[in-house]
Amino acid sequence: MIELLRKEINVNQLKLRNRIVMPPMATGKADHGKPDDSLISYYAARGRGTALIIVEHEYVSPEGMAHNTQLSMADDSVIPAYQKLTEAIHTQGAAVFAQINHAGAQAQDSGLPTLSPSGITLRNTEPAPGVMTAEDMKRVTNSFVSAALRAKQAGFDGVEIHSAHGYLLNQFYSPLTNHRTDEYTGQTLEGRTRLHVGILKAVRMAVGENYPIAIRFGAYDYMEGGSRKEEIPEASQIFADAGADLIDISGGLNGFTVKANTEPGWFSELSILSKRSVQIPVILTGGVKIAEEAESLLREGAADLIGIGRAMLKDPDWALNALK
């Protein structure tokens, strides 16, 4: 019986009508950084019955662009297109978050020098990415703040800060890509999360206390020498204390799948650790195809919300059908 999946839940003061989330999935169909009418229709169709749509990642500054077909939140010219997008999704009764991101060493196509914590490349490109300075930290933080304010102005109900899948903030979190010895050191959890904390606090100050902020947390690298599962409770609490209202669990440098796990809820062993340590909601995404699988994960206490990825790509009415 589907019961928990139907239940409302609050993220900060935003009430979500059920526990179904469309997670951010890159389409690579941006029109000069903006959503065109076809992309707006694509998202609006998946708003039917869904509680929350997290739109695919948008770069916060040109040097942080992952690829040239990525959405942008880097300047004010994008706001009118996003206003059309948010209005279309809201018409379907769903809430919508913008996922803001800096690709760091994974950036490409901008023609600008790339940035990273320690100059370690992840794309085997030349020249190697530059090592970020204190001034770079301030500039990147300000870029996240400006992007969040644009998202708010465009009608998004919240923002999600991307720290997973090998992008910049995940590069700081992983000891494999953070070899720094300064205050952002890769040797301690405090150092590895310092930039996250600075960005979360700065965004919170800019958008206000009642505006939801999520973080996509690449909680585990699944690689020797990388981030460890045992760190998840403390890291989750650090993010919550810094202002996060929602933690969206995914993989780290390994990406968004787990080769060793094909069961529904690929990252459930990670999301449980996060959920048990914080008082804010946690999202789990990965391999859930039918409503009964989502309900089971909620009953097990694996998460508070369930992301439906590929199944929702195939069926825009997945949420409506699941709640019948």
Which structural domain range is residue 45 located in? 4-322
d(CA 159, CA 148): 6
Residue 255, pLDDT score:
87
Cβ pair 216, 19 in contact under 8 A? no
Q: How far is CA 76 from the centre of its chain?
A: 21
- Spell 200-230 as b/e; 16+ CB within 10 A means b: bebbbeebeeebbbbbbbbbbbbeeebbeee
Domain tally, the chain:
1
Residue 259, pLDDT score:
79
CATH of the domain at 255: 3.20.20.70
Residue 205, pLDDT score:
98
Active site residues: 167
Which two structure tokens, joined as six digits, stand for 241? 């204390």
Cβ pair 287, 249 in contact under 8 A? no
> pLDDT tens digits for the chain (324 residues)?
899 999 999 999 999 999 999 999 999 999 999 999 999 999 999 999 999 999 999 999 999 999 999 999 999 999 999 999 999 999 999 999 999 999 999 999 888 999 999 999 887 666 889 999 999 999 999 999 999 999 999 999 999 999 999 999 999 999 999 999 999 999 999 999 999 999 999 999 999 999 999 999 999 999 999 999 999 999 999 999 999 999 999 999 998 888 778 899 999 999 999 999 999 999 999 999 999 999 999 999 999 999 999 999 999 999 999 999
Position 197: which residue type? Answer: V
Which residue intervals of 46-192 are DSSP H helices?
79-91, 134-153, 168-173, 189-192
Spatial CA neighbour of 12 closest among 221, 216, 259, 209: 209
Q: Are strands 9-11 and 14-16 parallel, antiparallel or unpaired?
A: antiparallel
* 3-class DSSP assignment, residue 321: helix
**Tokens 């459930």 found at:** 268
The burial of 231, by beta-carbon neighbours within 10 Å (0-12 exposed, 13-18 middle, 19 or more buried), is given as middle
Residue 258, pLDDT score:
85
Residue 260, pLDDT score:
78
Phi, psi of 132 (to 5 degrees): -70, 140
